[in-house]
Amino acid sequence: MRRAYKQPNLQRQLVAFRREFRWAARRLHGVTGVEFVSSVSNSNFVPGESSIDLFVFGDKIPAESKRELITLLTVLNAKYKLGLERASGQHPTPLFIDSWLSRLLYRLLKGRFNLYLLRAMVPSNGLFGAGYLGAERK
Protein backbone atom coordinates (compact mmCIF):
# COMPACT_ATOMS: atom_id res chain seq x y z
CA MET A 1 0.00 0.00 0.00
CA ARG A 2 1.33 3.40 -0.91
CA ARG A 3 2.08 5.84 1.83
CA ALA A 4 0.82 9.33 1.14
CA TYR A 5 3.18 12.19 1.74
CA LYS A 6 1.77 14.63 4.27
CA GLN A 7 4.50 17.19 3.72
CA PRO A 8 3.15 20.74 3.79
CA ASN A 9 5.47 21.73 0.93
CA LEU A 10 4.02 19.02 -1.31
CA GLN A 11 0.50 20.16 -0.52
CA ARG A 12 1.45 23.74 -1.46
CA GLN A 13 2.95 22.44 -4.72
CA LEU A 14 -0.23 20.53 -5.56
CA VAL A 15 -2.40 23.58 -4.85
CA ALA A 16 -0.14 25.72 -7.05
CA PHE A 17 -0.13 23.06 -9.79
CA ARG A 18 -3.94 22.82 -9.82
CA ARG A 19 -4.32 26.61 -9.78
CA GLU A 20 -1.85 27.16 -12.63
CA PHE A 21 -3.32 24.38 -14.78
CA ARG A 22 -6.88 25.68 -14.30
CA TRP A 23 -5.84 29.26 -15.03
CA ALA A 24 -4.06 28.33 -18.26
CA ALA A 25 -6.72 25.83 -19.40
CA ARG A 26 -9.61 28.25 -19.04
CA ARG A 27 -7.90 30.68 -21.38
CA LEU A 28 -7.81 28.16 -24.24
CA HIS A 29 -10.47 28.11 -26.92
CA GLY A 30 -13.30 25.70 -26.18
CA VAL A 31 -12.37 24.97 -22.55
CA THR A 32 -15.01 25.76 -19.92
CA GLY A 33 -13.66 24.01 -16.83
CA VAL A 34 -11.23 21.59 -15.21
CA GLU A 35 -11.86 18.99 -12.52
CA PHE A 36 -9.10 17.14 -10.67
CA VAL A 37 -10.02 13.78 -9.15
CA SER A 38 -8.29 11.09 -7.15
CA SER A 39 -5.07 11.63 -5.22
CA VAL A 40 -4.11 14.96 -6.82
CA SER A 41 -7.28 16.50 -5.38
CA ASN A 42 -6.60 15.37 -1.81
CA SER A 43 -3.63 14.64 0.44
CA ASN A 44 -2.94 11.12 -0.88
CA PHE A 45 -0.65 12.10 -3.75
CA VAL A 46 2.74 10.32 -3.82
CA PRO A 47 5.34 11.86 -6.19
CA GLY A 48 6.61 9.33 -8.71
CA GLU A 49 3.82 6.86 -7.92
CA SER A 50 0.51 8.71 -8.19
CA SER A 51 -0.99 9.74 -11.48
CA ILE A 52 -2.84 12.94 -12.28
CA ASP A 53 -6.46 12.23 -13.13
CA LEU A 54 -8.24 15.21 -14.56
CA PHE A 55 -11.22 16.10 -16.68
CA VAL A 56 -11.21 19.06 -19.05
CA PHE A 57 -14.70 20.24 -19.95
CA GLY A 58 -15.69 22.19 -23.01
CA ASP A 59 -17.63 22.28 -26.22
CA LYS A 60 -15.78 20.71 -29.12
CA ILE A 61 -12.35 21.66 -27.81
CA PRO A 62 -10.08 22.18 -30.83
CA ALA A 63 -7.15 19.81 -31.35
CA GLU A 64 -4.70 22.70 -30.91
CA SER A 65 -6.11 23.51 -27.46
CA LYS A 66 -5.86 19.82 -26.53
CA ARG A 67 -2.22 19.71 -27.61
CA GLU A 68 -1.51 22.84 -25.57
CA LEU A 69 -3.05 21.21 -22.49
CA ILE A 70 -0.95 18.08 -22.95
CA THR A 71 2.18 20.24 -23.25
CA LEU A 72 1.10 22.25 -20.21
CA LEU A 73 0.72 19.06 -18.17
CA THR A 74 4.25 18.02 -19.16
CA VAL A 75 5.72 21.45 -18.32
CA LEU A 76 3.96 21.68 -14.96
CA ASN A 77 5.03 18.14 -14.08
CA ALA A 78 8.65 19.25 -14.43
CA LYS A 79 8.08 22.60 -12.70
CA TYR A 80 6.43 21.08 -9.61
CA LYS A 81 8.51 17.85 -9.65
CA LEU A 82 5.45 15.59 -9.54
CA GLY A 83 7.22 12.58 -11.06
CA LEU A 84 4.39 11.70 -13.44
CA GLU A 85 6.83 10.18 -15.92
CA ARG A 86 7.50 7.44 -13.34
CA ALA A 87 3.85 6.82 -12.38
CA SER A 88 2.73 3.49 -13.78
CA GLY A 89 -0.91 4.57 -14.18
CA GLN A 90 -0.35 8.00 -15.72
CA HIS A 91 -2.81 8.66 -18.49
CA PRO A 92 -1.15 10.31 -21.49
CA THR A 93 -3.70 13.11 -21.72
CA PRO A 94 -6.37 14.79 -19.66
CA LEU A 95 -9.79 13.23 -20.22
CA PHE A 96 -11.63 15.64 -22.52
CA ILE A 97 -15.37 15.91 -21.86
CA ASP A 98 -16.33 17.93 -24.91
CA SER A 99 -18.89 15.97 -26.90
CA TRP A 100 -22.43 14.81 -26.24
CA LEU A 101 -21.19 11.21 -25.84
CA SER A 102 -18.40 12.00 -23.40
CA ARG A 103 -20.74 14.25 -21.34
CA LEU A 104 -23.36 11.50 -21.22
CA LEU A 105 -20.84 8.90 -20.09
CA TYR A 106 -19.41 11.29 -17.51
CA ARG A 107 -22.87 12.00 -16.04
CA LEU A 108 -23.85 8.33 -15.99
CA LEU A 109 -20.66 7.16 -14.35
CA LYS A 110 -19.72 10.11 -12.13
CA GLY A 111 -19.48 9.10 -8.49
CA ARG A 112 -19.68 5.37 -9.12
CA PHE A 113 -17.32 4.81 -11.96
CA ASN A 114 -13.96 3.30 -12.45
CA LEU A 115 -11.87 6.04 -14.07
CA TYR A 116 -10.10 3.49 -16.25
CA LEU A 117 -13.45 2.31 -17.62
CA LEU A 118 -14.43 5.86 -18.51
CA ARG A 119 -11.06 6.42 -20.18
CA ALA A 120 -11.59 3.33 -22.28
CA MET A 121 -15.03 4.49 -23.43
CA VAL A 122 -14.23 8.12 -24.29
CA PRO A 123 -12.43 8.50 -27.63
CA SER A 124 -9.12 10.32 -27.64
CA ASN A 125 -9.62 12.10 -30.99
CA GLY A 126 -6.22 10.94 -32.19
CA LEU A 127 -4.33 12.76 -29.45
CA PHE A 128 -3.94 9.79 -27.14
CA GLY A 129 -0.19 9.44 -27.53
CA ALA A 130 0.64 13.12 -28.00
CA GLY A 131 2.77 14.45 -25.19
CA TYR A 132 2.69 11.19 -23.24
CA LEU A 133 4.56 11.75 -20.00
CA GLY A 134 5.93 8.21 -19.96
CA ALA A 135 7.14 8.19 -23.58
CA GLU A 136 10.80 8.07 -22.61
CA ARG A 137 10.36 5.00 -20.42
CA LYS A 138 11.78 1.75 -21.76
129 in a structural domain:
no
65 in a structural domain:
yes
pLDDT at 6: 54
Q: Are 49 and 110 in contact (CB under 8 A)?
A: no
Q: Which of 18, 15, 100 is nearest to 54 (CA)?
A: 18
pLDDT at 108: 75
130 in a structural domain:
no
pLDDT at 114: 56
Q: Which amino acid is it at 39?
A: S
58 in a structural domain:
yes
Give the chain's mean pLDDT.
Answer: 76
Number of domains into which the chain is organized? 1
pLDDT in tens, 20-53: 999 999 999 999 999 887 777 777 888 888 877 8
3 in a structural domain:
no
Q: Cα(121)–Cα(111) distance, rounded to whole angstroms?
A: 16
pLDDT in tens, 109-121: 776 555 555 555 5
Q: Cα(56)–Cα(51) distance, rounded to whole angstroms?
A: 16
| Domain span holding position 22 | 8-121
pTM more than 0.85: no
pLDDT in tens, 47-79: 888 877 888 999 889 999 999 998 999 899 899
Q: Cα(96)–Cα(60) distance, rounded to whole angstroms?
A: 9
132 in a structural domain:
no
45 in a structural domain:
yes
63 in a structural domain:
yes
pLDDT at 5 over 70: no
